[in-house]
Amino acid sequence: MPTLKEIKGRIGSVRNTLKITSAMKLVSSAKLRKAQNAIEAMRPYEEQLQRMLSTLQGGSGTKTPENVPLEAENALSGTNSADFVRLPDVFIAIASNSSLCGSFNANVIAKVRSLRQSGDIVYSIGRKMADAMRKDGFPSPEDFTALSERPSYSPAAALVERLSQDLAEGRIGRVLLVYNHFVSTARQTPVVETLLDTPEMHSPSARHDTGPVISSHETGFVIPSEASVSQDVIVEPSAPELLAILEPKVLKLKLYAALLDSAAAEHAARTVAMQTATDNGNQLLDELTLQYNKGRQQKITNEILDLAGGQVAE
């Protein structure tokens, strides 16, 4: 049975912890609003760019982003072909720099581990991802710790350019994005998206959908002919040349959008985790306070009984 002094010490400790969790919840909420504003500010530009590319390719409208199922990713790898020389896949895996955000990091790390194979390359964005991959024997070629906390377009664009060059020169296979997608404040889902792929995987016979070419999980672009562009649209210089200019912008924007999405998911997960910790702390504080009051009342009752017993003895 703990003494009153021990219970009082635990009450003080819980109160101090509640101050920390409450402050962290407020900070995460403010950061979440900022991350949501950044995504909303980028969305009109992204939608307009999608519309332009859809027009160039003769499509009508844009396609709602979808995630690549794990089965589809494995089917695209081509490892079952005896004549296929497998190039290493590149994973751009995004996590956070700190913990106290529930299962945010554990989910995305588990997703990367389920997809990677021996010889693959993992570009870890975030300290938690980098530490986990390093322990598994997949150290990141570069340090992208700051990019997780403060998403920036320039480093993301430079990384896409370098990986595009490696893919064109035949040094790597696919480039996959693995991150937590922000669905709502209470829900963050780990997703896998294809950022870059080999040209043969983008042929019409290799496609798995009939929608517009541009989507969140396909980056293979069909080079349009002049006849495929609507007659109501004037393209200058030409549709293929314009598409060649816009394609790299879409790829860079896709990685930057994933960084913003992961940042919003992280702040949402930490907000929920700190709210849960605060609720549990308040419940524990009520229980300790009740236990302390009962113990103090029992102590006072015992003292009164001792006094009354002494008077009777006299």
CATH code: domain 25-76+85-221+230-272 is: 3.40.1380.10
Whole-number Å distance between alpha carbons of 246 and 2: 69
Q: What is the pLDDT of residue 42?
A: 83
CA distance 86 to 84: 6
- Reported as a single tens digit per residue, the pLDDT across 142-184 is 888 888 888 888 999 999 999 999 888 888 888 999 999 988 8
Give the span between the Cα atoms of 137 and 124, in whole angstroms: 12
Predicted local confidence at residue 204, as pLDDT: 34
Low-confidence ranges of the chain (pLDDT < 50): 59-82, 200-229
pLDDT for the residue 232? 63
**Residue 55 pLDDT:** 73
Q: Taken in order 181, 33, 19, 275, is the CA torsion positive or negative?
A: negative
Contact 270, 26 (CB under 8 A): no
Inter-CA distances, 250 with 32, 51, 151, 179, 268, Å: 25, 12, 17, 18, 26
Residue 158, pLDDT score? 92
Q: What is the pTM of this model?
A: 0.74
At 169 the pLDDT is 86
Q: What is the DSSP string of 118-143?
A: TT-EEEEESHHHHHHHHHTT---SS-
pLDDT tens by residue, 16-64: 999 999 999 999 999 999 988 888 888 788 778 877 777 776 643 333 3
**Secondary structure (DSSP) of 201-214:** GGSGGG-S--S-S-
**What are the tokens at 106?**
């554990």
